[in-house]
Structure 1
Amino acid sequence: MRLPAPFADWFAARGWRLRRHQADMLAAAGRGDHALLVAATGAGKTLAGFLPSLVDLAARPSDRLHTLYVSPLKALAADVERNLLGPIADMGLGISVESRSGDTSSDKKARQRSRPPNILLTTPESLSLLLSWPDSFTMFADLKTVVIDEIHAFAPGKRGDLLSLALARLQKIAPDLRRVGLSATIADPDQYRAWLAPDADADKVALVAGEAGADPAISILLPEGAVPWAGHSGRWAVHQVMAEVAKNRTTIIFCNTRGLAELIFQELWKVNDLSLPIAIHHGSLDREARQRAEAAMAEGRLRALVATSSLDLGLDWGDVDCVIQMGAPKGASRLLQRIGRANHRLDEPSRALIVPGNRFEYLEARAALDAVEAGERDADRFRPGALDVLAQHVMALACAAPFQEEALLAEIRGATPYRWIDADVFARLLGFVRDGGYALKSYDRFLRLAPDGPQGPDRGWRIAHPRLAAQHRLNAGIIVDAPTLDVRFKNGRRLGSVEEYFASTLVPGDTFAFAGLSLEVESIRDSDLIVRATTRPARIPSYMGARMALSTRLADRVRGFLADPASWSRFPADVRFWLEMQQLRSALPRAGELLVESFPHEGLHYLVAYPFEGWNAHQSLGMLVTKRMDRAGLQPMGFVASDYALAIWSLRPVTAPERLFDAEILSDEFVEWVENSHLLKRAFREVAVIGGLIARQHPGKRKTGKQVTFSTDLIFDVLRKYEPDHLLLEAAWADARARLTDVGRLGDLLDRAAGTMRHVTLDRISPLAIPVLVLIGRESVAASDLDDALLGELADTLARTAMRAD
């Protein structure tokens, strides 16, 4: 395909050629086809997504909104805006490009609705808010294309639900609208084609495969001594990591949690003898602090940036020489995504180092390397669209204009996650949006919809009062953060926020690390944590919801290593000896088998299972099994979980573990446990906020996290008593099952355990049990705050017992 002259000249001036997938995207646009592009980082996929729009606008100038770009991150939208404006200016094209997010000024937002740019860059939440305005019908009337970048980052979750519903509304406003998805890490493109397509018809979406690029150069960093038994920070490697930073122009150091990022930044700074400029970036830092770090990276002023998943996606910093992953990556797709931040050139390999925190993490790192080499990606689990998100969307549309029931149901069913919604479910949902439902309808504060026109079979509805539109726009959103306190100096300067539960453990004089500083608590005032800088040693803040689940495919590969001694020759000598001693002393799980060991230790009886299903599933399983053990009179004393294993200790031995791991535990103990634990209330709090039942903000005032929690707990108790089948309780249960307990993997584990359990009775601790037993008594401490020396000493003591040859 030939490019128009200005574009061909621009490519030629840079020594570039039109890549095959870019030409295929132009061809798909020419046919009017929806398209999904799967291409490696550095392949020019963002340019491929925009190229048809730029070519069309160059040929047919317009003063209307032509293309909407949706990304999961505000920072990514801003980065894409910079990268688009350059080529547009170089070619002298009269194309306007702007971003819209929560950071955009109110004046600019109002102007964008009446006089939008040709290309608008935004997020799912900002798009949903745009659709809540009456002028959305005119704003989007001439929309030609929606480009969804990093589609894998939100399609399977609630943000994807919201975006899918927004696409259905946009398609109604602009029937000829074309949908385009972009990603570098998708395991099953057909799942995403169906999600992207109107009415879930995957055949309507052309699949465009990117040109293959150079294979990444990934290696595992090993210590000079033995690979540690426990810990997952990679803290042992700070001197080696700092030496790597000194060799490169720019390095990004990824950590899996915010607390770990703070720890690693502090540790690197202690050994930064050359005073190289390094910075930190994560979601709890103040926006200005994040933007300063992003600008410094873009301008080449940093030698290293310590970051979390806040920088996983798409930011184009071509001068990054190396990516370092601290701790195991938890998934091949996540590792590839992070590696893609290095180099950003398709024909040159991206260079990366993985720093495993312990021996199991070494196996996981090796599994991730093998998966990347094999071209394997982690599969995403799509689930039915969430009801709380649908309630928020219905309210947004009501703010824009009155609607008819049947027409809106048909529109909603055009969104793939909501194909399952039928007339009965929709009637229940409308009842909730209208007045809160049966148990709450007598309270005026929950009345949000009023009849509009004749109330026949296709009834009409409108918002009950104009002020509700303003309230909706203040409170709409899918991301419900844990309650936080602002971290401030006495002069009012804000550093960021820490979660309320962590702040509640602090008293004046306590110290903690944050924003790269060691801080001392002076006082807590309302929603502010007042601090001052100190040179005293610091604790590390811990953040809820920060556990990344070990992917199923990586777990399968680790199991494969354990079952195949022939593969051990690639491992370091100490890791190989560990596995050989396990094989000699006990057993190693075969493929598809659940290994369970039991042994006495220090006067107690231990049961250790090796499911490899991730911390979330193991934590839930531990709670359920100990409850069942208690009823059986086995007197369990506690449990501890890792991504790989679950250890339970009790006063009496377990002789028949198969009775503890049957699938009925999910219908008996699981239901009882969830209903009586904090999990369901926590899930209800989130769905109540998303569904609009509880407003976090009112004009000029924001509720504290405690106020929101009190309000939702009160309503939760009322509904449990008087309307147990309430729509939001149903939504909360769905969340508790899918997200808070990872019950899908738990169910798979129990199904497998029924016929594959292998129980080995031992006279002492096994080598394979050492990494999980080292964690006993330390799970209540932030993982990044563990004393590595103490852990090492304890692990060595256990190892002397487990690995002696007799």
Structure 2
Amino acid sequence: MGTSPDYAKRWFTVRGWKPFAFQKQVWAAVKQGQSGLLHASTGAGKTYAVWFAALNRFARPAPTAETPRKRKPPAEPLTLLWITPMRALAADTARALQTPLADLQIDWSVGLRTGDTSSSERARQSRRLPTTLITTPESLTLLLARADAQTALATLRMVVVDEWHELLGNKRGVQLQLALARLRRWHPQLIVWGVSATLGNQSHAQEVLIPQGGGISVQGQISKTLHVDTLLPAHIERFPWAGHIGLKMLPQVVAEIESCASSLVFTNTRAQAEIWYQALLDARPDWAGIIALHHSSLSRDTRDWVEQALKDGLLKAVVCTSSLDLGVDFLPVERVLQIGSAKGVARLMQRAGRSGHAPGRASRVTLVPTHSLELIEAAAAQDAVAQRRLEPRLSPERPLDVLVQHLVSMALGGGFLSEDLYEEVRGAWAYRHLSLAQWAWALAFVRHGGLSLTAYPDYRRAEPDDQGVWRVPDARLARRHRMSIGTIVSDASIQLKFWSKGGGGKQLGSVEEAFIARLKPGDGFLFAGRLLELVRVENMTAYVKRSTAKKAAIPRWNGGRMPLSSELAHAVIMRFSAAAQGEFSGPEMQALRPLLSVQQRWSGLPTEHSLLAETLKSREGWHLFLFPFAGRQVHQGLASLLAWRVSQRQPLTFSISINDYGLELLSATEVDWSVQLNPALFDSAHLLADVLASLNAGELALRRFREIARIAGLVFAGYPGAPKSTRQVQASSGLFFEVFKQYDADNLLLAQAGEEVLREELDVNRLEQTLARIQRSRIDLHAVKRPTPLSFPLLVERMRESMSSEKLADRIRRMVSDLEKTAETGKA
């Protein structure tokens, strides 16, 4: 290649910057043609590490003064693919990459290709792709599904996968693995780099991204200063309960926002974001126009406006969800507030990094507890962040729904020979152990839909021609498949638009269809910080107008309850263990001391080497409370498992309640838990069979199968402008589920649904680890006279299922009043 120009040195020197050691390491590695994974803290300069590595190696020197340009030459052909997990990051990334090109007079173009790209821009790209194309895994697969894909991508030299940790653990990441396997077959010398900020298992992440080996790991040496503190409530409730959103903290949050120029206020759910945004506006009407709301259900125009205003320093605060977790560079943001527990160490660090987003600047996150027990999570989070105990993310293994979709895509993309594609697919980490039998099943499935669908032409999606090349034989099925590409299966949503008699009202965003189905015309609800009234529902669109009603429903989106991560749960237990020894270090634990004192006096405290168990007799029956601190997913499986095992010994029926800390089993008849809580009850032998027997496994598997059916192309969600309703899609997938069970019991998609239930919904691996930990622990059993601070939230969780919010609030007030009076007397 000759001597390549050092664009990085020139650009950094002009700005008075000194490159960090990790940036120079990446530049040197790419110059030698090496692939790798770069792991560095948020705001440390990762983007320019990989961008200038590409420019130094591949960009041609600009003309010198002696050879002036007569006219601007066309941009260099496609050289670099930049993969981003979110469309929202694409435009921001493009701006960051574009800046050095103009300064250095480099003849490279930068373009975007995502679901938001206009049809005219796509047409231009069909004629000639830009030098650097920023795209998503779905849009890359669409490119590969073009008949001329190999020609269009012939000049590709390098791929950068941004925020790799966000893709690694899901099916979108598997889709990308398959795309990279194809690109590597076309370009054996392809350089691939992953960029990540918060990963607890970097070696696995690198192996999945570069499965053939040979890549290097570069660790950013920047020790980013990260301040984690807690906003302490004025009054500690000794009998806390989850669900009241923490609005009692509103005056303190307002004061914190007031004290700095620009803040992000993160919530864990979109409903919570809507409530907090409205509460802040009610508390400070003068902030109208300088605070904003941002979540993924808002329209793209709204989100774009908020992001740009935040960049320009025009906003004092933005209330947001995970929609602003990643990569977007907001230099003006001084600090982050996290409403409620972040539930994970990596997530908390990622959000903290949104402030001080530049090398050398400190990041600060302030935790805002929504109930008293979150104070111990806050203290534990500080410990885990200080120790950098980040959660690992694991790639799915062999998801056949993604493989089936990929086969049809590759049949569209010029066709494939079975033997060649089998070897190519096995080059993707997730399919490294794909057997010939599984491969043959996948081919048969795209050829005629398996044993039970052979008679239906719509499932003959690909078949070999006379030369053995697999192609899509039907143009209609080809169009349908292109519209279905993508493994993101979003919550079933319905569009929101302002009502206009002439039609064409302004689009506001989307909410879940199940929420709108519960409303009738005239009902009010809160969305995008506005009080709206439902006018009518038509063609998967809900038309609304502004409302003057005082009471409004809040949209509830799925996915709101994130489980406590193993790393954070371990840190919580260590804090409880210290408290049991009389150690209350830090302001959070000092504030929590009155609660923990009551807990210890009435029962005990969980520790590293014991499992706290409480039994209680009440008017409702006999209660067992267990506190494994394993997160709500594991507790769901564990509660069902224990109830089932005990009911095998004596005929009993249980009501179950769970939260992140523990579980409750309630029986109408007496249970001698001192006898039942023995090692055999927690045995992991026959775990899978017992868990499936204890749950409505069929219903859980059906729910997973709905997603699998869409990804595998069994269910078509409809054409643009004429989408099928969620009910139609669910009915279709439910029908396939029953047909396969009855006539094609060996269908591998059924087996996949069962595996995903165990792995993702019940986290059976963590359940097994929890059972092993319990077996090593001492059972610390206490017969209590009344609900304790730890068991009270579980009682409330169960009552919430059967009581209206007004009745529940009244009942809780009476219970808390009685418990507080007893606690004041000092009784055990």
Corresponding residue number in structure 1 for 2:607:
590
Kindly state the Cα deviation for residue 789 of structure 1 after the two structures are TM-superposed.
Answer: 8.5
Matched, 1:651 2:668: yes
Task: Give yes or no for contact 2:294–2:320 (8 Å, CA) kept in 1.
Answer: yes
* Kept after mapping to 1: 8 A contact 2:539/2:722: no
State yes or no: 1:483 paired with 2:492.
yes
**Hey, what does 2:735 align to over in structure 1?**
714
Partner of 1:24: 25
Q: How far 1:99 sits from its partner (Å)?
A: 0.9
SS at match of 1:464: coil
Q: 1:221 aligns with which of 220, 227, 231?
A: 231
Once the two structures are superposed, what CA deviation does each residue of 1:42-90 show, in whole Å capped at 9, x if it has no partner? 2110111111112234336862111100011111111010111122112
Distance in 1, matches of 2:325 and 2:631, equals 21
Q: 2:789 aligns with which of 760, 767, 786?
A: 767
Correspondence 1:298 to 2:298? no
Residues in 2 aligned to 1:131 and 1:786: alpha-carbon distance in whole angstroms:
57
Distance verdict in 2 for CA 1:306–1:786, change over 3 Å = farther
- TM-score when scaled to structure 1? 0.94
Give unmatched runs, 5+ long, in structure 1.
Answer: none
1:597 partner SS? strand
Aligned to 1:248: 260
CA distance in 1, matches of 2:802, 2:351: 29
Matched residue SS, 1:324 = strand
1:332-386 C-alpha deviation (Å, 9 max, x unpaired): 1111100111011221211210111223321111111111112221222333131
1:261 paired to 2:273: yes
CA contact (8 A) 1:384 1:417 kept: yes
Amino acid at match of 1:224: A
1:444 is matched with 457
For residues 777 and 59 of structure 1, what CA distance do their matches in structure 2 show? 68
* Within-5 A mapping of 1:8-407: 8-59=9-60, 63-199=76-212, 201=213, 204-226=214-236, 229-231=240-242, 233-276=245-288, 277-407=290-420
TM-score normalised to the size of structure 2? Answer: 0.91
Counterpart of 1:218 in structure 2: which amino acid? V
CA contact (8 A) 1:231 1:788 kept: no
Matched, 1:543 2:557: yes
**Structure 1 SS opposite 2:791:** helix
Deviations 1:461-499 (A, max 9, x none): 221223322211101111112222222322233222211
Q: 1:621 to 1:779 in 2, by over 3 A?
A: farther
Alignment match of 1:558 (pick from 572, 584, 609): 572
RMSD over equivalenced CA pairs, Å: 2.5
Instruction: List per-residue Cα deviations over 1:492-539 (Å, max 9, x = no partner).
Output: 332222112222222233322111112223333342223322231222
Is residue 250–residue 320 contact of structure 1 (8 Å, CA) maintained in 2? Answer: yes
Shift of the 614–309 alpha-carbon distance from structure 1 to 2, 3 Å rule, reads same
Shift of 1:628: 4.7
- Unaligned runs of 5+ residues in structure 2 are 63-74
- Deviation at residue 303 of structure 1 after TM alignment: 1.0
The alpha-carbon distance between structure 1 residues 567 and 139, as it changes in their structure 2 partners (threshold 3 A), is farther
Contact 1:329 1:365 in 2 (8 A): no
2:395, 2:436 → 1: CA distance? Answer: 23
Q: Which amino acid aligns with 1:239?
A: P
SS in 2 for 1:325: strand
1:220 counterpart letter in structure 2: T
Q: Secondary structure at the residue paired with 1:274?
A: helix
Change (3 A) 1:263 1:3: farther
1:473 aligns with 2:493: no
- 8 Å CA contact 1:213–1:348 kept in 2: the answer is no
The Cα of 1:309 is off from its aligned counterpart by 0.7
| Superposed displacement of residue 719, structure 1 | 0.6
Moved over 6 A (4+): 780-783, 785-790
Cα 1:16–1:796, aligned 2, differ >3 Å: closer, same or farther?
A: farther
Q: Are the counterparts in 1 of residues 204 and 394 from structure 2 also a CA contact under 8 Å?
A: no
User: Distance in 1 between the 2:547 and 2:766 partners?
Assistant: 45
CA distance in 2, matches of 1:385, 1:358: 41
Deviates more, 1:443-452 or 1:26-35: 443-452
Distance 2:277 2:38 in 1: 36
- Residue equivalent to 2:770: 749
CA contact (8 A) 1:696 1:703 kept: yes
Contact 2:174 2:395 in 1 (8 A): no
Is the aligned partner of 1:498 residue 2:522?
no
Native 8 Å contact 1:252 1:320 kept in 2: yes
- Secondary structure at 2:779 match in 1: strand
For residue 692 of structure 1, report the CA deviation from its aligned partner: 1.0
Structure 1 Cα separation of the partners of residues 479 and 191 of structure 2: 31
Residue correspondences, number: 797
Once structures 1 and 2 are overlaid, which stretch shifts more, 657-666 or 507-516?
Answer: 657-666
For residue 790 of structure 1, report the CA deviation from its aligned partner. 7.0
Say if 1:125 and 1:477, in contact at 8 Å, map to a contact too. yes
**Cα distance per residue 1:142-184 (max 9 Å; x no partner):** 2111001111001121111011111000111111100101111
Comparing 269-278 and 796-805, the one that deviates more? 796-805
Shift of 1:769: 1.4
- SS of the equivalent of 1:596 reads strand
Q: Which residue of 1 aligns with 2:72?
A: none
* Separation in structure 1 between the aligned mates of residue 638 and residue 135 of structure 2, nearest angstrom: 40
Distance 1:613 1:485 in 2: 35
Cα distance per residue 1:296-349 (max 9 Å; x no partner): 212222111111111100100101011110000111111110011101122121
Q: Give the partner amino acid of 1:542.
A: R
Q: In the aligned structure 1, how far is the partner of 2:399 from the partner of 2:353?
A: 31
Task: Go from structure 1 to structure 2 and tell me whether the alpha carbon gap of 1:676 and 1:735 turns closer, same or farther (over 3 Å shift).
Answer: closer
- Residue deviations 1:742-792, cap 9 Å, x none? 222223223333453615141423332123223232257999x99878756
> Do 1:114 and 1:135's aligned partners in 2 also have CA atoms closer than 8 Å?
no
Report if aligned partners of 2:61, 2:106 keep a CA contact under 8 Å in 1. Answer: no
Residue number in structure 2 paired with 1:463? 472
Whether the 8 Å CA contact 1:196–1:205 is kept in 2: the answer is no
Q: Match for 2:719: what amino acid?
A: H
Aligned to 2:67: none
Matched-pair contact (CA < 8 Å) for 2:340–2:369:
yes
**Partner Cα distance (2:541, 2:720) in 1:** 20
Q: Distance between the aligned counterparts of 2:79 and 2:452, measured in 1?
A: 46
Three-state SS of the structure 1 residue aligned to 2:558 is: coil
In the alignment, the residues of structure 1 paired with residue 434 and residue 7 of structure 2 have an alpha-carbon distance, to the nearest angstrom, of: 48
Higher mean C-alpha displacement, 439-448 vs 268-277: 268-277
- Residue 271 of structure 2 contacts residue 556 of structure 2 at CA under 8 Å; is this kept in 1? yes
Take 1:780 and 1:16, find their aligned partners in 2: how far apart are those partners?
62
Q: CA deviation at 1:601?
A: 2.6
Return the offset for 1:411: 0.5
1:620 aligns with 2:637: yes
Equivalent pair of 1:778/1:786 in contact (CA under 8 Å): no
The AA in structure 1 aligned to 2:278 is: Q
CA contact (8 A) 1:169 1:411 kept: yes
Q: What secondary structure sits across from 2:800 in the alignment?
A: coil
- Letter paired with 2:100: P
In structure 2, distance between residues paired with 1:298 and 1:797: 51
